[in-house]
């Protein structure tokens, strides 16, 4: 296992793929770990050195007192790139990872070649959704995380996919039950407070927006908003709920690779 030491703890990361290939950073969704991207690794490592990280509060990374902010999580990504001496990278983030990608595109576009934001919005949900969840998780701890896991299947996957691929759905949702309650609540606050609706047009790097047709958490309307406000942004939509990278699988991977390789000889 590999870690980068930050000022307040260690950030867990994993590198896969050819050592001298261009770097592609993958950023996980709320309540998952870097392993949510396992299905993409065979396709992505054909062209990229893939850098995955457990976002602060998740997986094996540091859990510090909350609340967190998307700006803070964005600075963690930049600190990881700095520690590994990576000047510029491609970036793909889903849900909360998509918010981090938007922040990077707005505030650190010079560090990005291209940006992919998936199953995300410029603003995700309202405080009336997030505050009760934060309160419950901080009060009930691991029991609340197990309850969230059981409820997440319907949010993260369509019913037909969950029924046809129960092992795959369980592998992903078990990540939620294993997430630190304190870390999860702190990241919920980061998502709650993020609002890039008036800033996302500042993203100037080539951008691809991906949505899931059946995503009730971040509906396609949120993806269309980003695509319409980022000059030249491309848009793709798959039959999927919130975790389109898992449910759409190879089709998702192929579309991301197609976008990242366009106009490039990699």
DSSP state of 141: T
> Residue 265 above 60 pLDDT?
no
Who contacts 221 (Cβ-Cβ below 8 Å, separation ≥6)?
none
127: three-class secondary structure by DSSP: helix
Reported as a pLDDT band with limits 50, 70 and 90, residue 266 is very low
pTM of the shown model: 0.96
Is residue 43 within 8 A of residue 24, CB to CB? The reply is no
Q: What are phi and psi of 203, to 5 degrees?
A: -70, 120
pLDDT digits (tens, 9 = 90+) for 145-174: 999 988 888 899 999 999 999 999 999 999
Average confidence score pLDDT of the chain: 96
Q: How far apart are CA 44 and CA 259, in angstroms?
A: 12
Q: 35-39, 42-46, 115-119, 167-171: which has the minimum mean pLDDT?
A: 167-171
pLDDT digits (tens, 9 = 90+) for 117-147: 999 999 999 999 999 999 999 999 999 999 9
> Average pLDDT in the 48-66 region?
97
Is residue 265 within 8 A of residue 217, CB to CB? The reply is no
pLDDT digits (tens, 9 = 90+) for 181-225: 999 999 999 999 999 999 999 999 999 999 999 999 999 999 999
pLDDT digits (tens, 9 = 90+) for 241-257: 999 999 999 999 999 99
Is residue 30 within 8 A of residue 184, CB to CB? The reply is yes
Q: How far apart are CA 21 and CA 265, in angstroms?
A: 12
Q: How far apart are CA 137 and CA 123, in angstroms?
A: 22
Domains of the chain (ranges, CATH numbers): 2-261 (3.40.50.1820)
CA dist 142 → 137, 176, 235 (Å): 8, 10, 38
> Average pLDDT in the 228-239 region?
98
159-171: b or e for each residue (b if 16 or more CB lie within 10 Å)?
eebbeebeebbee
The reported pLDDT for the residue numbered 120 is 98
Q: DSSP labels for 57-98?
A: TSTTS---SS---HHHHHHHHHHHHHHTT---EEEEEETHHH
Return the H-helix or E-strand segment holding 147.
helix 142-156
CA dist 137 → 36, 125, 130 (Å): 22, 17, 11
């Amino acid at each position: 296992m590999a870690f980068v030491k930050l000022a307040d703890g260690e950030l867990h990361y994993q590198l896969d793929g050819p050592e001298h290939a261009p770097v592609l950073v993958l950023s996980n969704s709320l309540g998952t770990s870097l392993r949510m991207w396992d299905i993409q690794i065979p396709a992505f490592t054909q062209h990229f050195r893939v850098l995955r990280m457990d976002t602060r509060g998740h997986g094996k990374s540091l859990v510090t007192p909350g609340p967190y902010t998307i700006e803070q999580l964005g600075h963690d990504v930049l600190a990881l790139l700095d520690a590994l001496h990576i000047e510029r990278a491609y970036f793909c983030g889903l849900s909360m990872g998509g918010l981090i990608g938007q922040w990077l595109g707005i505030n650190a576009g010079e560090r990005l070649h291209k940006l992919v934001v998936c199953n995300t919005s410029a603003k995700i949900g309202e405080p009336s959704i997030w505050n009760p969840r934060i309160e419950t998780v901080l009060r009930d701890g691991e029991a609340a995380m197990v309850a969230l896991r059981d409820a997440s299947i319907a949010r993260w996957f369509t019913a037909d996919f969950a029924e046809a691929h129960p092992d795959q759905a369980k592998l992903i949702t078990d990540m939620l039950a294993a997430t630190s309650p304190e870390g999860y609540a702190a990241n919920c606050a980061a998502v709650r407070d993020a609002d890039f609706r008036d800033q996302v047009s500042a993203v100037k790097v080539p951008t691809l927006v991906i949505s899931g047709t059946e995503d009730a958490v971040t509906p396609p309307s949120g993806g269309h908003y980003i695509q319409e406000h980022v000059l030249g942004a491309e848009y793709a939509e798959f039959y999927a709920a919130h975790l389109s990278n898992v449910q759409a699988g190879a089709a998702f991977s192929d579309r991301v690779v197609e976008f990242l390789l366009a106009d490039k000889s990699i």
